[in-house]
Structure 1
Amino acid sequence: MAYVVAQPCADVLDLACVEECPVDCIYQGERMMYIQPEECVDCGACEVVCPVEAIYFEDDVPEKWSVYTAANAAFFTEIGSPGGAITVGKFGRDVEPVLSLPAAKPPAR
Structure 2
Amino acid sequence: MTFVVTEDCIKCKYTDCVDVCPVPGCFLEGENMLVIDAATCIDCGICEPSCPADAILPDSYEEAAKWVELNRRYASEWPVITRSKPAPEDAEQFEGVPDKYANYFSPLPGRGSASPG
Q: Provide, for residues 5-38 of structure 1, a one-character-per-residue CA deviation record: whole Å limited to 9, x for no partner.
A: 0000001111000111010211111111000000
Which stretches in structure 2 are left out of the alignment for 5+ residues? 83-99, 106-117
Name 2:70's counterpart in structure 1.
71
After TM superposition, give the deviation of residue 78 of structure 1 in Å. Answer: 4.5
Greater RCO (Cα-Cα under 8 Å, separation 6 or more): 2
TM-score (normalised: structure 2)? 0.65
* C-alpha contact 1:23 1:40 (8 A) present in aligned 2: yes
Aligned pair 1:23/2:23, yes or no? yes
* C-alpha contact 1:26 1:33 (8 A) present in aligned 2: yes
Measure the CA separation in 2 of the matches of 1:100 and 1:27: 17
Aligned pair 1:101/2:102, yes or no? yes
Which stretches in structure 1 are left out of the alignment for 5+ residues? 87-98, 105-109
Name 1:3's counterpart in structure 2.
3
The 5 Å alignment of 1:27-106 reads 27-62=28-63, 65-78=64-77, 85-86=81-82, 101-103=102-104
Identity level (%): 31
Name 1:12's counterpart in structure 2.
12
SS of match in other structure, 2:104 = coil
SS of match in other structure, 1:59 = coil
* C-alpha contact 2:36 2:75 (8 A) present in aligned 1: no
TM-score (normalised: structure 1)? 0.69
Q: How many residues align?
A: 89
Measure the CA separation in 2 of the matches of 1:100 and 1:44: 24
Q: Which amino acid aligns with 2:56?
A: I
RMSD across aligned C-alpha pairs, in angstroms?
Answer: 2.7
Q: Which amino acid aligns with 2:44?
A: C
Q: In structure 2, do the counterparts of structure 1 residues 100 and 44 end up closer, same or farther at CA, with 3 Å as the change threshold?
A: closer
